A and B are shown apart, each in its own frame.
Chain A
Amino acid sequence: MDRSLKWRLFALFMSCLLCAGAVLPTFLERDQLPSWFPFSKKIQLGLDLQGGLHIVYSIDLDKAIDDKASEIRRDLESRFADEKTAATVKTPSSPLGAVVVTLTDPAKREAALSAIQADYGGDTVSYDCAADQPPGSICFRVSSEYADGIKRAALTNAVTTIRERINEKGVAEPTVVEKGDEIVVELPGLDKAAIQETRDIIARTAKLEFKVVDNNSEYMKRLYAHVGSEGKEGKPTEPRAIELEIQAEIDQWRPEDGSGLQTDYFLLAHDREEWLTLDEAKANNCLNKDNKEKIENGKVKCLVSGRRRIELYLFGDKKLNIKGLVEIDPTFKLPDDRQIGYEFNEPTPEAKDRRNFWRTYYLDRAVRLTGSGISDAMGSYDPNTNRPIVLLDFNRHGSRVFGDLTAEIVGKKLATILDDKVKSAPIINGAIRGGRASITMGGSDASRMEKERNELVNVLKTGSLPAPLHEESSSEVGPTLGRDAIEKTRLSFGLGIALVIIIMVGIYRWSGWISVFGVAFHISLMLAVMAVFGATLTLPGIAALVLSVGMLVDGNILIYERIRDELTLGKSVRGAIDLGFSRAFSAILDGQLTTAAAGWVLMQYGSGPIKGFAVMLLVGVFTTLVTNLWVSRIFLDWYVSRKKGTLATISI
């Protein structure tokens, strides 16, 4: 046996070990493997082979109709402003999709009515105003037919968005279908952590808004004084604030353009653990399976967020019969065009208090720019702090609005609000006209920030959901193929492989066994590659596997036929093997490269099952080439080298 053959046999043996090692985690539980074991990823099985989780989402379609009414309101308001007509436009919560216009000058009613008729007549119907509306109001609502259309569009839009989000996440071949007014999502596999991550992404509304922070406001100044900060270490003086552990803080800065001092008053509260009664716990969304057993004296331990306590302090809770400041002292009633925004913070490394906290922003209610102004989002790092950030590219409309907006509010803060939470509120030092903005991730754990960043990029890229989703139910589903069908398929696979063995060994005798070993090696190499990448195996993937096994056997037949030809022509055994491989080489290579070209295109442009097929096919091209040109050769060489002297013939 020559040296090179020894080395090749050794390398083959090592590759077999590696394959076995890579595939092992798929068949064993994690704790059955020693901790030093280098491989941990498993081959996931798709919905069709293993089943997964079946989740039903309901979608708040009324919200979509509400949004339409709000859109009409904004339209009308700007029109009345342009015409200098004094009017108020309201969108009462009932009936659904209603808009009520009240004109200060009754003489203009007819003109307004006909204008509304002309613009919205097709999509709306008028109705008799309720008694509590001012006399002379114009009441109309989104028509039932149009509402049906909006609902339809919102549902389709939501399905598409969810599909894109899951694909972006890289979950292989999920199912997303409409079911009446609901959406059914099926996620393959039952790995709890992975499924939870995907669920988080699916249900995120991802509503992005930009609003201006109203600093120097009289309201916040009074609130600051009311809560008080004269206690020890700036602690509040007002009893309710002390009880709820709410602080009043102040933030001051001088804008770079040299204009006057800006002051931002705000409230701040840390998250804290409290013993709550069951009703309170329910209102806090903290009553769940985990702490149901830990009820003591009718109370449960809950983490109450700072936001929740500030909300309690200001607005109370009707269900729990707690009055907020706005009711106790009507002078603190929030103006109609203002709102309170909340920002979540983690403590800075220097802070003594290690708890997370929330702070408020006093916001102008008007939405200045939404996520529809974004053309793309990508993950990056802040060059100065090295924190993960999301870069937002504005489209033309967004870029113009953002430029004008920042020019208008130089020296003030602009709040970026995502799903009802202020993400950041930087001070604007000058007009930003580059068409780009960024959101910086907060927190101290780098890997978590990065994960959150990637999630955010995903949801911003795929756009916001038209309306919030609620998870209605979830159940486990078995393989789509059916349990019985999988049993039968296994049987047919076994029979098929037996048949290949019979044919190959029957015709090529000893060399046939080399092919059989080749097929086994090829399949385990394919599985190993899949396991290393943690890929998902589905029925289309198995189809690709069958195809590549077919091509592998084809390659073997090509080589053997060539060797036979050479032997018939009177070549020596060694010479025939050399020539056989080199002659068959171009056919095998070209066949596989054409397949690879096709597979690559299918992977680039295909989606769902087509992508699953293509990935497996590409893996198969690689393993077919390795097995045919390297493994088979090693065995034939080995076979020849075992026999001393010159061989007259071989079993082929």
Chain B
Amino acid sequence: MSDHHKFRYLLPPGNNFAFVSKFKAWLIFSIIMMIASIGMLFVNKSMRGDYMNWTIDFKGGSEIIVAFKDASGNYAQVDPGKVRDALEKDEAGVEVSDMSWTAQDKDGNDVPVNGMIIRTTRFSALSPETAAAAIADFNTTFKDREISKASWSGDRMSVRSKKPIKPEEAAPVFKKHGLDLKLWSEGEAALYSHPDEGTGEYNLWFSMYGLDRAYEQKLDEALKPVDATVVQSYGVGAKAGDKLRNDAAKAIVYAIFLIMLYLAFRFDIRYAPGAAFATIHDAVMVIGVFAVTWTEVSLTSVAGLLTVMGFSVNDTVIVFDRIRENLAKVKDKKLERIIDISINEMLVRTILTSSTVFATTLIMNIFGEGLVRNFAFAMNVGVIVGVYSSIFLAVPFFLWISKKWYSGPAPSRRRLGNVVPASAAKPEVEASASGKPDDEE
């Protein structure tokens, strides 16, 4: 050994931690954590109403377009960050982005408007209880109008009746429930004044001041003296339809199978299940952390999940590679010992890589905003579980399968790289000693 190399070591060389002896405990711990993660989804379903905190991407919601005017009545541009901060006080995960269009000013000239589009998962400002109570009250009050249908759609109520109902009559009913009815415009009034030709029924819409007004008030307060006006507010469907979800699930399952196939071909069939299990574990854990912390799940979070899985597979394969190499090189040690040696050899690299990625994504988490932060959070969790699962899940799985179905260290295969011929080694019973493996060169 020559000591004239002055390396900056992360860990003093010659680290020799015992990993294998604690495998069983870690495996049990992991399985408990996975069950807890899945269980958390159902806890959420019963406590919070849904498995995860889906964003508008997955479950739809409302889009509200807002224009801003300064004190002198001209269109103004504001910082989307301020708008987001003002709205996020009450609900997390509101998406705010710029939107520009042309409108006519007081003199009838076309002027560009730099407004905002706000996306939220809320469909209406009404609570379900208020909505139900209002409908019940409405039905009893206007029994004589022969209502055949009355239902809410966001902040709007759709009514079908044999006889007309005037908004002036309806307003006090809504008022009782704290709802403020918007009176009809002339166009609407004309449209609703005569029955449908075929059925002879009236199709009426009653709109409440709801989300739009709530948002307007919040923004006015936060952006003083700028005045916010809701130009349009409407419900939208989910961006990610069933097709996308099914495609994603299918793609992930196929990808895991292909990874297993690749490992079976390039390494050995014993390596494949461990890598697959570790990858699934990481995905489940990230989902679990998202469920526990009730973090918003958007399409970007899906990208984050894929990144975590990619990182985890890469990490596992590299640890496996070292085990494969040492299996071929070291012939007189027990499998457990070889695994311990391999992990120890890789420890510096594992810590260095994962801490680099972790630190980078942590910065994104701290300084980022909105969706980027969401992605970074998934990565923070993912790096930790990814490194953990490579060492404490993928490797024990491999060890367990080897012990159960193979007796002793089986031949390792290498097809590329520095070729060490595969040699079947006799299993030897030897109490593991110390030190690094003896190099054959």
- Residues of A near any B CB (own CB < 8 A): 48, 51, 54, 94-98, 125, 127, 141, 143-144, 159-160, 163, 175-180, 184, 473, 475-485, 488-489, 491-493, 495-497, 499-500, 503-504, 506-509, 539-540, 543-544, 546-547, 550-551, 553-554, 557-558, 561, 564, 567-570, 582-583, 585-587, 589-595, 597-602, 604-610, 612-613, 617, 648-649, 652
| A355 nearest CB across to chain B (Å) | 37
Please, which residue of chain B has its CB at the minimum distance from the CB of A551? B314
Mask, B322-335, CB within 8 Å of A = 1, is 10010000000000
B369–A177 CB distance below 8 A: no
A547–B348 CB distance below 8 A: no
Please, which residue of chain A has its CB at the minimum distance from the CB of B370? A485
- Alpha-carbon gap, A652 to B367, bound state (A): 32
B105 within 8 Å of A (CB atoms): no
B352–A503 CB distance below 8 A: yes
A177–B238 CB distance below 8 A: yes
- Alpha-carbon gap, A482 to B96, bound state (A): 6
Q: Which of B7, B259, B320 touches A597 (beta carbons < 8 Å)?
A: B259
A141–B198 CB distance below 8 A: yes
Q: Which 3 A-B pairs have the closest CB atoms?
A: A478-B98, A586-B417, A484-B81
B263–A594 CB distance below 8 A: yes
Measured between beta carbons, the chain B residues less than 8 angstroms from A595 are 310, 313-314
| A595 nearest CB across to chain B (Å) | 6
Given contacts A570-B1, A613-B303, contact A496 B364 (CB under 8 A): yes
Please, which residue of chain A has its CB at the minimum distance from the CB of B415? A586
B353–A605 CB distance below 8 A: no
| B325 nearest CB across to chain A (Å) | 8
Given contacts A475-B101, A597-B255, A649-B5, contact A482 B95 (CB under 8 A): yes
| A497 nearest CB across to chain B (Å) | 8
| B294 nearest CB across to chain A (Å) | 21
A485–B372 CB distance below 8 A: yes
B48 within 8 Å of A (CB atoms): no
Given contacts A598-B255, A610-B302, contact A482 B370 (CB under 8 A): yes
A591–B318 CB distance below 8 A: yes
- Alpha-carbon gap, A648 to B357, bound state (A): 33
B167 within 8 Å of A (CB atoms): no
A477–B303 CB distance below 8 A: no
Please, which residue of chain A has its CB at the minimum distance from the CB of B99? A477
Q: A488-B372, A503-B352 are in contact. List 17 more A-B contacts (CB 8 A).
A: A144-B199, A160-B241, A184-B63, A476-B100, A481-B369, A484-B80, A509-B8, A539-B371, A540-B299, A550-B311, A590-B317, A590-B318, A591-B318, A598-B309, A601-B251, A602-B306, A610-B248
B300 within 8 Å of A (CB atoms): yes
Measured between beta carbons, the chain A residues less than 8 angstroms from B255 are 597-598, 601-602
- Alpha-carbon gap, A156 to B126, bound state (A): 26
Measured between beta carbons, the chain B residues less than 8 angstroms from A589 are 416-417
B262 within 8 Å of A (CB atoms): yes
- Alpha-carbon gap, A184 to B300, bound state (A): 21
B251–A479 CB distance below 8 A: no
| A175 nearest CB across to chain B (Å) | 6
Mask, B355-371, CB within 8 Å of A = 1, is 11101110110111111
Jot down 17 A-B pairs with beta carbons below 8 A, ordered by A: A163-B243, A177-B238, A480-B95, A540-B299, A546-B307, A557-B349, A569-B1, A582-B417, A585-B418, A586-B325, A587-B321, A590-B266, A590-B317, A595-B313, A597-B261, A607-B243, A610-B303
| A312 nearest CB across to chain B (Å) | 33
B97 within 8 Å of A (CB atoms): yes
Q: Which of B7, B300, B372, B418 touches A564 (beta carbons < 8 Å)?
A: B7
A488–B416 CB distance below 8 A: no
Measured between beta carbons, the chain B residues less than 8 angstroms from A587 are 317-318, 321-322
Measured between beta carbons, the chain B residues less than 8 angstroms from A649 are 4-6
- Alpha-carbon gap, A48 to B95, bound state (A): 11
| B385 nearest CB across to chain A (Å) | 15
B98–A483 CB distance below 8 A: yes
Measured between beta carbons, the chain A residues less than 8 angstroms from B237 are 159, 177-179
| A25 nearest CB across to chain B (Å) | 25
B168 within 8 Å of A (CB atoms): no
B368–A179 CB distance below 8 A: no
B60–A177 CB distance below 8 A: yes
Measured between beta carbons, the chain A residues less than 8 angstroms from B2 are 567-568, 570
| B214 nearest CB across to chain A (Å) | 20
- Alpha-carbon gap, A557 to B196, bound state (A): 75
B259–A127 CB distance below 8 A: no
A582–B7 CB distance below 8 A: no
- Alpha-carbon gap, A177 to B119, bound state (A): 13
Please, which residue of chain A has its CB at the minimum distance from the CB of B3? A568
Given contacts A96-B198, A606-B248, A609-B299, contact A617 B414 (CB under 8 A): no
A550–B418 CB distance below 8 A: no
Measured between beta carbons, the chain A residues less than 8 angstroms from B361 are 496, 546
Measured between beta carbons, the chain A residues less than 8 angstroms from B322 are 587
- Alpha-carbon gap, A610 to B251, bound state (A): 9
Measured between beta carbons, the chain A residues less than 8 angstroms from B300 are 48, 539-540, 543, 609
Measured between beta carbons, the chain B residues less than 8 angstroms from A499 are 356, 359-360, 363
B63–A607 CB distance below 8 A: no
Measured between beta carbons, the chain B residues less than 8 angstroms from A592 are 314
B97–A478 CB distance below 8 A: yes
Q: Which of B307, B320, B360 touches A544 (beta carbons < 8 Å)?
A: B307
B244–A607 CB distance below 8 A: yes
Given contacts A499-B359, A540-B299, contact A489 B439 (CB under 8 A): no
| A389 nearest CB across to chain B (Å) | 31
B4–A648 CB distance below 8 A: yes
Please, which residue of chain A has its CB at the minimum distance from the CB of B371? A481
| A564 nearest CB across to chain B (Å) | 6
Contact residues, B245-278 vs A (CB, 8 A): 247-248, 250-252, 254-256, 258-259, 261-263, 266-267
Please, which residue of chain A has its CB at the minimum distance from the CB of B266? A590
Given contacts A179-B236, A543-B303, A598-B255, contact A586 B414 (CB under 8 A): yes
- Alpha-carbon gap, A143 to B154, bound state (A): 24
| A120 nearest CB across to chain B (Å) | 14
- Alpha-carbon gap, A547 to B203, bound state (A): 55
B403 within 8 Å of A (CB atoms): no
| A293 nearest CB across to chain B (Å) | 15
| A582 nearest CB across to chain B (Å) | 5
B84 within 8 Å of A (CB atoms): yes
Given contacts A159-B237, A553-B356, contact A598 B244 (CB under 8 A): no
Give the residue among B81, B238, B239 with the most A Cβ atoms within 10 A.
B239
A598–B117 CB distance below 8 A: no
Mask, B375-418, CB within 8 Å of A = 1, is 11001000000000000000000000000000000000010111
- Alpha-carbon gap, A102 to B311, bound state (A): 72
B79 within 8 Å of A (CB atoms): yes
A597–B258 CB distance below 8 A: yes
B248–A491 CB distance below 8 A: no
B363–A492 CB distance below 8 A: yes
Mask, B209-246, CB within 8 Å of A = 1, is 00000000000000000000000001111111101100
Measured between beta carbons, the chain A residues less than 8 angstroms from B71 are none
- Alpha-carbon gap, A484 to B367, bound state (A): 11
Measured between beta carbons, the chain B residues less than 8 angstroms from A141 are 198-199
Measured between beta carbons, the chain A residues less than 8 angstroms from B353 are 550, 553-554, 557
| A583 nearest CB across to chain B (Å) | 6
| A221 nearest CB across to chain B (Å) | 43
Measured between beta carbons, the chain A residues less than 8 angstroms from B84 are 482, 484
B160 within 8 Å of A (CB atoms): yes
Measured between beta carbons, the chain B residues less than 8 angstroms from A583 are 325, 417-418
B429 within 8 Å of A (CB atoms): no
Measured between beta carbons, the chain A residues less than 8 angstroms from B340 are none
| A183 nearest CB across to chain B (Å) | 9
A547–B311 CB distance below 8 A: yes
A495–B100 CB distance below 8 A: no
B180 within 8 Å of A (CB atoms): no
- Alpha-carbon gap, A93 to B252, bound state (A): 51
Give the residue among B197, B200, B256 with the most A Cβ atoms within 10 A.
B197
B304 within 8 Å of A (CB atoms): yes
